[in-house]
Structure 1
Amino acid sequence: MHTSEHSIMVNGIPIQEDDIEYASRSLKAASHPLRLKIMCLLSQHEMTVQDIVDHVGTSQSNVSQHLAIMRDKGLLSSHRVANRVYYCLAESRRALLQACSSLR
């Protein structure tokens, strides 16, 4: 049982345990070097799988597997135009990438 003296506040807003668990899963999904690289690419603009493959230098199936994991964890969103699927960084995850970019 949680009491108010043990609650976590960010900018005066209480953070729920479910939110912490969700954030933890997102961080775990983003922690793979290739996934973080893909997130950095997608922070600039949306891209297709082939666009990403051309930039990261690995196979299409490898990129697709990582994209599926990141989309499942809420890091990415996608939309289809004709026969192409475009991926972009989920709006709610931009702060995660910005926080990582300040690390040196």
Structure 2
Amino acid sequence: MKVENPQHDLYNDTEIVKAALCLKAMSHPLRLKILCVLGSDSICVQQIVDQVGTSQSNISQHLAILKEKNILGSKKQANRVYYFIDDARMLQLIKMMRDVFCSSH
């Protein structure tokens, strides 16, 4: 006789794995800073560089990781690429993290 675990039904393993991968990608200090800068905005790479304070190539590497993990989306306008948080759940998480960790007080 198989004993059902009522807690198991509350969680979707696929979503748990996705969340873990996203949190791992976000755990780098520079990537977290980028996400705090982005918030709900769509910002070009140069604006991110100006606000975060490191080289464009360094920012681009970290943006690529966040994009690969489906945390960020991007759109090209003329000769600029704009990045944005592409998932409503991630926006919610980033907002909470900004409130807790990125505020100036």
The interval holding the TM-score normalised by the smaller chain is 0.7 to 0.9
Q: Does 1:5 align with 2:6?
A: yes
Q: Which runs of 4+ in 1 moved over 4 A?
A: none
Aligned pair in 2 of structure 1 residues 51, 101: CA closer, same or farther (>3 Å)? Answer: closer
* Pairwise CA distance, 1:46: 1.1
Aligned pair in 2 of structure 1 residues 95, 3: CA closer, same or farther (>3 Å)? Answer: farther
SS of residue matched to 1:103: helix
Residues 46-72 of structure 1 show CA distances to partners (whole Å, capped at 9, x for unaligned) of 111111111111000000000000011
What residue number does 2:97 align with? 100
Aligned pair in 2 of structure 1 residues 18, 3: CA closer, same or farther (>3 Å)? Answer: farther
Aligned residue identity for 2:48: I
Which one has a larger percent strand, Structure 1 or Structure 2? Answer: 1
RMSD over aligned Cα atoms: 2.1
* Pairwise CA distance, 1:2: 9.3
Q: Does 1:81 align with 2:62?
A: no
Q: Does 1:57 align with 2:53?
A: yes
Q: Using CA pairs under 8 Å that are at least 6 residues apart, name the structure with larger relative contact order, 1 or 2.
A: 2
Q: Is the 8 A contact 2:73 2:86 kept in 1?
A: yes
Aligned residue identity for 1:79: K
What residue number does 2:23 align with? 27
TM-score by length of 1: 0.83
Q: Distance in 1 between matches of 2:8 and 2:99?
A: 27
State the percentage of identical aligned residues: 43
Aligned pair in 2 of structure 1 residues 8, 24: CA closer, same or farther (>3 Å)? Answer: farther
* Pairwise CA distance, 1:45: 1.6
What residue number does 1:17 align with? 13
